[in-house]
Amino acid sequence: MESSRGKLSAAGVLLLLLMTLLVVAAMQAVEARDCLTQSTRLPGHLCVRSDYCAIGCREEGKGYTGGRCRISPVPLDGILCYCVKPCPSTTTE
């Protein structure tokens, strides 16, 4: 009898853990995504520090919340500064 209660408790804990993981995954899917735009203020071909990039992007205005150094999708374009801001919402309520 004790063995079946122990198994039932373990199954309950596993079910609770699984439900928690599903809720966390769903919350992350709903969070706003970041949109990246190449900086017009720091257009050089070598972005060395993301913190400098972030400062430059915030000074550009346009609603940028920061910036990141990223490898350009264009071959041989180098590591560029991309400004970050929240993407516009695509849901209609």
Q: Residue 27 has what pLDDT? A: 44
Q: How distant is the alpha carbon of residue 27 from its chain centre?
A: 13
Task: Check if CATH label 3.30.30.10 holds for domain 34-86.
Answer: yes
**Mean pLDDT, residues 62-84:** 90
pLDDT tens digit string along 44-57? 768 999 999 999 99
Give the residue from 13, 9, 31 showing the smallest Cα distance to 21.
Answer: 13
Q: Find out whether 67 and 54 touch, Cβ atoms under 8 Å.
A: yes
pLDDT tens digit string along 5-30? 777 676 665 555 444 444 444 444 44
- Per-domain residue ranges of the chain: 1-31, 34-86
